[in-house]
Amino acid sequence: MLLKPGWEESKKRFEAWWNHDVADRVLLQVHAPKSNPTSTPPPTPKDLEDQWLGVDYRIARAEWTIDHTYYGGDAFPSLDTHIGPGTLSLFIGAIPEFQANTVWYHKCIDDITTASVPNVDENNRYWRFSQELAREGVKRLAGKALVTFPDLIEGLDTIASLVGNDELLFYLVDAPDHVHRFQRAMNDIYFYCYDRLYEIIKDENGGSAFSAFHTWAPGRVAKVQCDFSAMISPKMYEEFVVPYLAEQCSRLDYSVFHLDGPCCVQHLPLLLEIEELDAIQWTPTTGTEAPCDPKWWPIYKQIRDAGKSVMVRGGTAQQAKALVEEFGPEGFDILIGASSEEEADDLVNDSFNWRKRC
């Protein structure tokens, strides 16, 4: 990767992190504004649909972002290929509502008890676009950036996009067998798409990167989640989430769970029992303390005590240093921002000295 000096050393740090260990220092990614960008923004797309589904625009926008970003430490330039946070649902019928910064998904199934589980249509425009964007990205950005998996999303979150959030809550009680019917099929649908995309974006040694939360692994990697679980009990979580999540993780080489918000923390003990899950990323409620803040250290202690790695996204340099000095660098992947290239480099150089307090 021409735009990322030291990438081979960074890959060793990622691999050590996935193995709940450390290479030479904590896995630290620092984003900062580049001091001498040369490119101008691409032409404004004609509408929101073109913004999301224009291959040329998406690649040009990524090139502009890369040119304006300094990737300090183990951070790396990439092309994000998602069509919003839940791209898989578009491949099987959900109806998109494009907005400037996200995509919302509207139901396409009126009654889960009579509906067949939808299959991926090879002529589905969103599925065809995702493959085309990945192929073109690999070709045009070769040696410059990684092309990442889209934020596919799976399980109850995807089923909710197909049938509706409120409706799925009722189905869990009134039609649990049909929810399980959809869940049993969902992993096969997910991996039908995942495997095809992996063959496009994998690097020369089989490594791959996932768009959500900026992660790379020396094999098949994904971020997994169940944000829908904020609305269900641990008993339901154990029945409707855990077995399918464990199966999904077993079909990946590396997996990190996105634990989103305080209502989902109740499920952490069950997550920690999933042997196939490698790491957990905690996202606090918007407007509360940053992920590096000491307020969340008890969550990280539970995760590390269970032998899993921790992904931390956000906070100050001081908070990041204190976090590593509290727990040690083993099993932590931290991403923070800096105001300049010099500040980013100073922070990374200083991180070699961060160690657990005696």
**What confidence tens digit (pLDDT) does each residue in 160-193 have?**
999 999 999 999 999 999 999 999 999 999 999 9
Q: Per residue in 264-317, pLDDT tens?
A: 999 999 999 999 999 999 999 888 999 999 999 999 999 999 999 999 999 999
Residues 297 and 276: their CA atoms lie apart, in Å, by 23
Q: Residue 35: CB partners within 8 Å, gap ≥ 6?
A: 70, 340, 341
50: exposed, middle or buried (Cβ count in 10 Å: 0-12, 13-18, 19+): middle
4 pLDDT tier (thresholds 50, 70, 90): confident
Nearest to 245 by CA among 300, 284, 190: 190
Which tokens is 202 given? Answer: 């994998």
Q: Is the pLDDT of residue 357 over 80?
A: no
User: Which CB contacts under 8 angstroms, 24+ apart, belong to 233-241?
Assistant: 234/266, 234/267, 234/269, 234/270, 236/172, 237/267, 237/270, 238/270, 239/176, 240/156, 240/172, 240/176, 240/179, 240/180, 240/183, 241/155, 241/156, 241/267, 241/270
Which tokens is 138 given? Answer: 């690999």
Q: What is the pTM of this model?
A: 0.96
Question: Which phi and psi (to 5°) does residue 312 adopt?
Answer: -120, 125
| pLDDT at residue 2 in the model | 65
Q: Is the pLDDT of residue 38 over 80?
A: yes
Residue 356 lies in a domain: no
Residues 62 and 79: their CA atoms lie apart, in Å, by 6
User: Average pLDDT of 114-118?
Assistant: 97
Q: Is the pLDDT of residue 1 over 70?
A: no
| pLDDT at residue 287 in the model | 87
Q: Would you say 162 and 94 are in contact if contact means Cβ atoms under 8 Å apart?
A: yes
Q: Would you say 254 and 224 are in contact if contact means Cβ atoms under 8 Å apart?
A: no
What does pLDDT average to over the chain? Answer: 97
Q: Is the pLDDT of residue 88 over 70?
A: yes
Nearest to 48 by CA among 104, 127, 94, 86: 104
Q: Is the pLDDT of residue 143 over 70?
A: yes
Q: Per residue in 210-240, pLDDT tens?
A: 988 999 999 999 999 999 999 999 999 999 9
358 pLDDT tier (thresholds 50, 70, 90): low
| pLDDT at residue 78 in the model | 97
- The residues with which 224 forms a beta bridge, in sequence order, are 257
Q: Is the pLDDT of residue 85 over 80?
A: yes
pLDDT above 70: percentage of residues in the chain? 99
Residue 86's domain comprises: 7-351
Residues 193 and 120: their CA atoms lie apart, in Å, by 8
Which tokens is 348 given? Answer: 């990374």
Residue 146 lies in a domain: yes
| pLDDT at residue 198 in the model | 98
Which tokens is 277 given? Answer: 């899950």
Residue 338 lies in a domain: yes
pLDDT, greater one: 307 or 1: 307
| pLDDT at residue 3 in the model | 65
CATH number of the domain that 243 lies in? 3.20.20.210
Q: Is the pLDDT of residue 325 over 80?
A: yes
Residue 1 lies in a domain: no
Residue 357 lies in a domain: no
Residue 340 lies in a domain: yes
pLDDT above 90: percentage of residues in the chain? 96
- Which segments within the chain are labelled E, that is strand? 27-33, 69-73, 78-79, 95-98, 103-106, 146-147, 208-210, 215-217, 221-225, 254-260, 279-283, 309-313, 332-337
If one counts the domains in the chain, the total is 1
Which tokens is 174 given? Answer: 């009134």
Which tokens is 180 given? Answer: 């399980």
